[in-house]
Amino acid sequence: MKRTDFPILSESVHGRQLVYLDNAATTQKPQMVIDAIAEAYSHWNANVHRGVHHLSQVATQKHEEAREKVAQLIHAQSSEEIIFTKGTTDSLNMLARSFGDAMLHEGDEIIVSQLEHHSNIVPWQMLCERKKATLKVIPLREDLSLDTEAFKGLLSDKTRLVSVAHVSNVLGIVNPVEEIIRLAHERGVPVCVDGAQSVPHLAIDVQQLDCDFLVFSAHKMYGPTGLGILYGKKEWLDQLPPAEGGGEMIEHVSFEKTTYNVLPYKFEAGTPNYVGSHAFGKAIDYVQEIGLEHIAKHEHKLAKYLEAQLALLPNLRVYAAGLPKAGAVSFNVYREDGVLIHPFDVGVLLDRQGVAVRTGHHCAEPLIDYLQVPGTVRVSVALYNTQEDIDAFMTALKKAIMMLQ
């Protein structure tokens, strides 16, 4: 891997060399992914499936090859367990509609955690409102880790699904999903894992995890926007109804009755993002060549170095300090009189020095409300980041703090 593989990293911002540390929001793209998009539209663009002409057959082959790469990436049993969607949010909404229509009834319960992104809260809230079901929440311990003992108490004969983030998008904490899955399965409850922040950073084996569903996005793993993945165990996908209707997801249509296509196509209504899938396949190739284990070690080392540097500054709180993390660290800065410096102000001054971080509630308002702050400053790393990036960030942060005191 070379930083020069990522052309945007050579850009300047406000006259300064870009230091990009907002990877939990989206990652930058290697040239081979950018080239893959241009190649598709320049040489073989055609709608996939059913076309007898050459371009359609090439496009279909590229699309299905990408599906196989995704299956291999997460160690699914078969590519028919891989459903292409528009993103993690779309995957969760699709699952909520499909699972909810088939499996949820009045009085039933769904469990999420205090750490969730809005995308893993709102679809389940909407479903519970529609079905007159109840949404329950796994609380946090004092150190901000999930309280698995409390989770045991939440599981009941009415629990129909648990949906939990593998990695917190705010705090970067790696949640104990293996234990959550085991405890849920002991009660016969399926588990959906939100892998948006884990799949790009950790080696994932869905068979070893034994999760029933896994959702994630291409753009957070060096791929294009507009493409997501919904993995589901075949035995679940076989019994769930389609969430959307239209072309491709049908076997036969008449005014009397419609029958549905085989997996995975019964969940993929309309023209799929075949250019995006091809580009994501190239991103997977790029990551696999480096190795996710190597990437995880590199990012873990950077995150530990970052936490150590932040710990040297007075009047600064790192959230969930010392807990296992994947890719992200959140903090807030306080004035000498104890008043919080608004994270937005910190972010603006960092940006003026060419450093890109994320500030705000990070689409996780319940967690931010729990922390009793208006937001946090989040630094998130990727495979192309270096210790020099962290040093440049720290220099910029010290200057920003000095200006805001």
Domain chopping of the chain, boundaries: 32-289, 291-404
Backbone phi, psi, residue 252, to 5°? -150, 140
Tokens of 214: 């896994």
Overall residue count recorded for the chain in this entry: 405
Q: CB of 217 within 8 A of CB of 87? A: yes
Report yes or no: 203 and 224 within 8 Å, Cβ to Cβ. no
Classify strands 159-165 and 109-113 as parallel, antiparallel or unpaired: parallel
Give the β-pairing of 250-253 and 228-232.
Answer: unpaired
- Return per-residue pLDDT of the chain as tens, 405 residues: 889 999 999 999 999 999 999 999 999 999 999 999 999 999 999 999 988 999 999 999 999 999 999 999 999 999 999 999 999 999 999 999 999 999 999 999 999 999 999 999 999 999 999 999 999 999 999 999 999 999 999 999 999 999 999 999 999 999 999 999 999 999 999 999 999 999 999 999 999 999 999 999 999 999 999 999 999 999 999 999 999 999 889 889 999 999 999 999 999 999 999 999 999 999 999 999 999 999 999 999 999 999 999 999 999 999 999 899 998 999 999 999 999 999 999 999 999 999 999 999 999 999 999 999 999 999 999 999 999 999 999 999 999 999 998
Active-site residue, 363 included: yes
- How far apart, in Å, are the Cα atoms of 313 and each of 171, 346, 351? 19, 15, 20
Pick the closest to residue 189 from 216, 207, 211 (CA basis).
Answer: 211
The catalytic position among 128, 192, 211, 363 is: 363
Strands (E) located in 146-294: 159-165, 191-194, 213-217, 228-232, 250-253, 258-260
DSSP class of 83:
E
Peptide bond into 264 cis (omega under 30): yes
Closest CA to 92 of 182, 162, 194, 165: 194
Q: Which CATH number fits domain 32-289: 1.25.40.10, 3.40.50.2000, 3.50.50.60, 3.40.640.10?
A: 3.40.640.10
Torsion of CA 47, 51, 55, 57, to 10 degrees: 110
Residue of 394, 216, 369, 236 lying closest to 316 (CA atoms): 394
Residue owning tokens 């150190």:
143
CATH 3.90.1150.10 corresponds to the domain 291-404: yes
Tell me if 32-289 shares its fold with 291-404.
Answer: no
Closest-CA residue to 201 (of 112, 328, 306, 116): 328
Check if the beta carbon of residue 229 is closer than 8 Å to that of residue 82: yes
Q: Which helix (H) or strand (E) holds 332?
A: strand 328-334
CA 360 – CA 344 distance, rounded (Å): 7
